[in-house]
Amino acid sequence: MKVAKFGGSSLANSAQVQKVLDIVRADPERRYVVPSAPGKRHPDDDKITDLLLYCHELASSGESIEEVFGYIRGRYQQIIDGLGLKLNMDAAFDEVYDQILRGAGRDYCASRGEYLSGMVLAHALGYDFLDAAQVIFFNARGVFDSDRTQQVLSAALREHPRAVIPGFYGAYPDGRIKTFSRGGSDVTGAVVARAAGAEEYENWTDVSGFMMADPHIVSNARCIDTLTYRELRELSYMGAQVLHEDSIFPVRQAGIPIHIRNTNRPEDPGTLIVNRVDERRDHVITGIAGRKDFTLIMIEKSMMNNELGFGRRVLSVLEAHGVSFEHMPSGIDSLSVVAQSKVLAGKIHEILADIRESVDPDHIEVVEHISIIATVGQGMVRSPGTAARLFSGLAEHNINVRMIDQGSSEMNIIVGVEDDDFERAVRAIYESFVPEA
């Protein structure tokens, strides 16, 4: 039995939804379907969720939502008519419209795209419709309540052998709608897969799997056949945007594989994400991912290693200013802190003054416009010369490395380069490990 989640691009119009229906009907094991809200039909289009949030803004400021909501209603009606469905959703649209005018919360408005998509898909497939607000729960502080959700959702799924469960949202204890972060339909799919005891969680999107590098940077980037949860976590954290990183945990706990598939190319094998990979891979590395716009604070002090609590005092300064750090490479007389530039904006001078007062360093240097690139692969630890290949590739392209950090698991090597060198560095690392076909 499989749970199939479909992203916004897979539900953008009637032609795309027809592909979804064909995919679900092609395999009777696809018993539970988790839809997103309709996404963009073309680059200049609007996502339904963004339009609903705009309605919330208009209503909150006392302006009319009639035109924008009429457009939303029309988008769904085009899908219904395009599929030839005999489905009247006027009551559902009127309810959402009235709730927005009555001051329904932002999360309620944001969630209605998935809710309405779920109703359309359930009717088209002949599946039961299971409102996520009845089976997915958050506590009063807005933290996902895994135990209660697992208990209630498992029982509900036993009563509904085939069902559509909208993604992205659940409910507070008082019944108010609460959403996951954007992209949270991936999380809903994983939660449903765990509760159903699925053999596989299929995540259908508009790419044919997880690429070894951003295809916008490396045009010939290969698809990763098999990926471990730990590798996915590393790559997602570093900016690889295929799957919501929080969606890993429910299925990883249950040992359920995630299968990334392409709605537009269902014949492609995709990427299978599993607990462990036993077979020998063709490449030492699994993938490369990175992000721009970091700041590096480099602190030097002689005999730092003998000074008890030095690192703690530095991090306490960051905590006092509400700054979380990304990496902290260190040497015997040096310590560097890497943080996103945007979280340091307007605070950097005060932070430096407090660090000087707290630890009395010999020297502090701030380096801005740094990109962080992670080269990830669980096979790296067993492959001598991996770091040498990486740094040789960067040197051959005359790329200066400003920071190096290798995780204790030896599953990744992280380098910091200047923002202007980011794309060249990614290509250089890729070429060092993946020969041209």
Distance (Å, whole) CA 337 – CA 326: 8
Task: Label residue 347 exposed, middle or buried (CB < 10 Å: 0-12, 13-18, 19+).
Answer: middle
Cα torsion 58, 61, 62, 68 to 10°: value is: 0
Closest CA relative to residue 185, chosen from 79, 58, 47, 92: 47
Distance (Å, whole) CA 131 – CA 115: 7
pLDDT in the model for residue 437: 46
Q: DSSP of 69-100, one letter per residue?
A: HHHHHHHHHHHHHHTT-----HHHHHHHHHHH
Q: Which residues contact 274 (CB under 8 A, 6 or more apart)?
A: 226, 227, 228, 229, 257
The CATH number of domain 2-274 is 3.40.1160.10 = yes
Domain ranges of the chain: 2-274, 287-433
User: Between 41 and 207, where is the model more confident?
Assistant: 41
pLDDT digits (tens, 9 = 90+) for 270-326: 999 998 876 566 678 899 999 999 999 999 999 998 899 999 999 999 999 999 998
Distance (Å, whole) CA 23 – CA 347: 51
With 80 as the cut, is the pLDDT of residue 86 above it?
yes
β-strands 271-274, 258-262 pairing: antiparallel
Percent of the chain with pLDDT over 90: 78
Categorize the per-residue pLDDT at 252 as very low, low, confident or very high, splitting at 50, 70 and 90: confident
- Class of domain 287-433 as given by CATH: alpha beta
Question: Where are the alpha helices (H) located in 197-329, listed in sequence order?
Answer: 229-237, 248-254, 310-320
Containing H/E element for 363? strand 363-376
pLDDT digits (tens, 9 = 90+) for 180-217: 987 788 999 999 999 999 999 999 999 888 889 998 89
β-strands 30-35, 2-6 pairing: parallel
Distance (Å, whole) CA 73 – CA 79: 10
With 80 as the cut, is the pLDDT of residue 241 above it?
no
pLDDT digits (tens, 9 = 90+) for 405-431: 876 666 889 999 999 999 999 999 999
The mean pLDDT value of the chain amounts to: 92
How many Cα atoms are found within 13 Å in the side-chain-facing hemisphere of 50? 6
Distance (Å, whole) CA 184 – CA 354: 38
Q: Which residues contact 34 (CB under 8 A, 6 or more apart)?
A: 3, 4, 5, 6, 164, 165, 166, 167, 185, 188, 189, 192
What's the whole-number mean pLDDT along residues 215-227?
Answer: 90
Q: In sequence order, what are the beta bridge partners of 291?
A: 372
What's the whole-number mean pLDDT along residues 267-272?
Answer: 94
pLDDT digits (tens, 9 = 90+) for 102-127: 999 999 999 999 999 999 999 999 99
